[in-house]
């Protein structure tokens, strides 16, 4: 089984603008696709990789230039400092869920197979998707589905889940799809469940909060001229990355100096974002929602 096929691999590695003696960070190691490409371009340089999923450790290469940290990327700055690194030449993040996490039975990331509703990327974390579904009240569940799944019928979804759990706990994928299936628009079950599961996964893993925490540290750890390369997979995270790269804040509020120049830590390399071409889409359909953004520290 393939652990993961990175989207926009060539474009993201090119965007990193690798120097053979540079120091780089892959904050989402996963199957090691990006890391291996970076290592191929290094001679005396160094690569540090983060991944909170313990399964990723099986993909770590034997290379003296490589350091793997089984940590969430929200601890980026502290971990670099602990390992004697103040600044780096580039940071790359592929924010998608790996094929491995979707495909391995028991993780509960996908609605395509029955499994316990876990969805934890870090399996030592306390809260699972089932915990949320059975522990939160109707209003809190509705807020999650609307905010992170952009589901307009979020209140009805929450109501049906609360009704279902009165009879028995909602603990598996099939439990959840049975409780909510009637609410999917005709012919759009796939899209409906994709949004529903996305909302739960984001909440379980605090994805938006931790993404912001990581990005806020990047201006401090990047050298002048260093590159930030990020691949996003849905509009919520893409908006965060886009705004931060453009304005240095997550709201996209432009602040200017006395002379009218935009105050921002970055220069945009890809102003509109880069999406997969037809050849890649034919080869890897899962890359269809990927968008690559690149910025340079100024």
Distance CA 152, CA 142 (A): 10
pLDDT (tens digit, 9 = 90+) per residue, 255-273? 999 999 999 999 999 889 9
- Find out if CATH 1.10.150.170 is the number for domain 126-204: yes
- Three-class SS state of 29: coil
The CATH fold of domain 9-99+208-297: Rossmann fold (3.40.50)
Q: How confident is the model at residue 2 (pLDDT cuts 50, 70, 90)?
A: low
Q: How confident is the model at residue 3 (pLDDT cuts 50, 70, 90)?
A: low
Q: How confident is the model at residue 96 (pLDDT cuts 50, 70, 90)?
A: confident
Strand partners, 46: 23
All structural domains of the chain with their residue ranges: 9-99+208-297, 126-204
Q: In the prediction, which pLDDT does 99 show?
A: 72
Strand partners, 229: 92, 294
Buried b / exposed e along 35-65 (16+ C-beta atoms within 10 A): bbbbbeebeebbbbbbbbbebbeebbeeeee
Q: Do domains 9-99+208-297 and 126-204 have the same CATH topology?
A: no
Which residue from 243, 245, 227, 225 is spatially nearest to 235, judged by alpha carbons?
243
- Three-class SS state of 250: coil
pLDDT (tens digit, 9 = 90+) per residue, 29-71? 999 999 999 999 999 999 999 999 999 999 999 999 999 999 9
Which residue from 269, 259, 210, 209 is spatially nearest to 74, judged by alpha carbons?
210
285 burial via Cβ count (<10 Å: 0-12, 13-18, 19+) = exposed
Name every residue whose Cβ is closer than 8 Å to that of residue 11 and which is 6 or more positions away in sequence.
274, 292
Q: How confident is the model at residue 110 (pLDDT cuts 50, 70, 90)?
A: very high
């Amino acid at each position: 089984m393939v652990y993961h096929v990175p989207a926009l691999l060539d474009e993201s590695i090119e965007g990193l603008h690798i120097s053979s003696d540079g120091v780089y960070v892959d904050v989402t190691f996963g199957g090691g696709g990006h890391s291996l490409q970076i290592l191929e371009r290094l001679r005396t340089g160094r690569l540090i990789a983060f991944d909170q999923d313990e399964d990723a450790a099986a993909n770590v290469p034997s290379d003296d230039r490589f350091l793997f940290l089984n940590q969430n990327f929200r601890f980026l700055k502290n971990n670099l400092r602990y390992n004697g690194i103040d600044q780096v030449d580039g940071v790359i993040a592929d924010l998608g869920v790996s094929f491995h996490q979707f495909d391995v039975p028991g993780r509960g990331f996908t609605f395509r197979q029955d499994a316990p509703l876990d969805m934890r990327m870090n399996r030592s974390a306390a809260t699972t998707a089932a915990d949320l579904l059975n522990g939160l009240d109707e209003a809190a569940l509705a807020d999650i589905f609307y905010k992170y799944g952009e589901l307009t019928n979020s209140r009805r979804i929450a109501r049906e889940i609360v009704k279902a759990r009165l009879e028995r706990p909602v603990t598996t994928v099939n439990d959840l799809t049975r409780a909510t299936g009637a609410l999917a628009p005709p012919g759009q079950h796939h899209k409906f469940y994709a949004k529903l599961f996305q909302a739960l996964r984001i909440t379980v893993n605090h994805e938006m909060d931790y993404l912001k925490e990581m990005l806020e540290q990047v201006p401090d750890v990047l050298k002048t001229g260093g590159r930030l390369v990020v691949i996003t997979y849905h509009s919520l995270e893409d908006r965060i990355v886009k705004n931060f790269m453009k304005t240095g804040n997550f709201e996209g509020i432009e602040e200017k100096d006395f002379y009218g120049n935009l105050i921002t830590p970055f220069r945009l390399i890809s102003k509109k974002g880069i999406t997969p071409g037809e050849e890649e889409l034919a080869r890897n359909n899962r890359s269809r929602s990927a968008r690559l953004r690149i910025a340079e520290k100024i």
